Amino acid sequence: MARRRRGRPVNGWIVLDKPAGMTSTRAVSAVRRLLQAAKAGHAGTLDPLATGVLPIALGEATKAMAFVVDSGKSYRFSLCWGQERDTDDAEGSVVSESAARPERGAVEQALVPFVGDISQQPPAYSAIKVDGERAYDLARDGRPPALAPRMVRIDALRLVDWQPPDGAGFEMRCGKGAYVRAIARDLGRALGCFAHVTALRRTRVGPFDEGSAISLDKLQSFGHKEPPEGALLPVETALADIPALAVTGSEASRLKCGQAVRVPSSMEGTIYATADGRPVALAQISGGEVRPVRVFNL
């Protein structure tokens, strides 16, 4: 007999403005506890040092998390010149130092090769799994893994705050899997002065941005009541970039039973089917045949 999940069926998204010093896992647990939700997960890990947009999926929204994890992200961050640290941020131990400090023009010129499709070696302190273990767990045990470089996409990277002699602030837009801490490490090396992240804020993840974010303190102020209108976003918010296909009530029933349906449509690829304005299923459509992949029980 399946184990019954505790909590109530809360479905939708909370865009948490994660505070510094909290892991993403702890943030999810806090939101789930506050809303007494039966099921929750986060779409895109934020470092404990980082603040900002952490989309938390509740209930049926967890079925759409993959689309958010794979979407574009935006960050604001600050660097300190002169030191490289084992974590690539201010929480780590110093591994290299330099008395050199870059000029503003040199920094702006050094940013150019970091934009586009680039090869990036992830930080040793990352959530990447190595033989079933998280890289950061191995690093904390004194066994930092040698992670292979991988291709990532940096859409924009610009200097926005010059703080001589020791720091600078930047903004970055990127695709899935890009690490700000790796940018700091590699930029410091390229400039011959070393660098690490001192502050990091995520400002956007896919369709979610700071404008829809709510602080944990604000969420706590509601107790176990429903958050105000606008704080709990609908499940389909995460599907903004996926084509929607309207189906009839009978077609929706068949899709929810895992059956394919035929529709007069020229769409191809991944879509989400809707009926009466509500999401029915994530599906694959080819040649007018719609096959459900994940069904929403709403």
Q: What is the CATH number of the domain that holds 276?
A: 2.30.130.10
Q: Which residues are catalytic?
A: 47
Residue 137 has a pLDDT of: 76
Shared domain check, 84 and 28? no
Residues 135 and 169 in one domain: yes
pLDDT at position 106 is 97
Q: Do 20 and 48 touch, CB atoms closer than 8 A?
A: yes
Query: What parts of the chain have a pLDDT lower than 70?
Result: 1-5, 223-230
* DSSP sequence for 178-230: --HHHHHHHHHHHHTS-EEEEEEEEEEETTEEGGG-EEHHHHHHTTTSPPPTT
Same domain, 200 and 80: yes
Q: Are residues 179 and 55 in the same domain?
A: no
Range of the domain at 288: 242-295
Q: C-alpha dihedral over 106, 110, 111, 115, to 10 degrees?
A: 160
Structure tokens at 186: 């590699």
What pLDDT, on a 0 to 100 scale, did the predictor assign at position 4?
Answer: 55
Is the whole model's pTM more than 0.75, yes or no?
yes
Predicted confidence at residue 1, as pLDDT, reads 43
Q: Residue 107 gets which letter from DSSP?
A: H
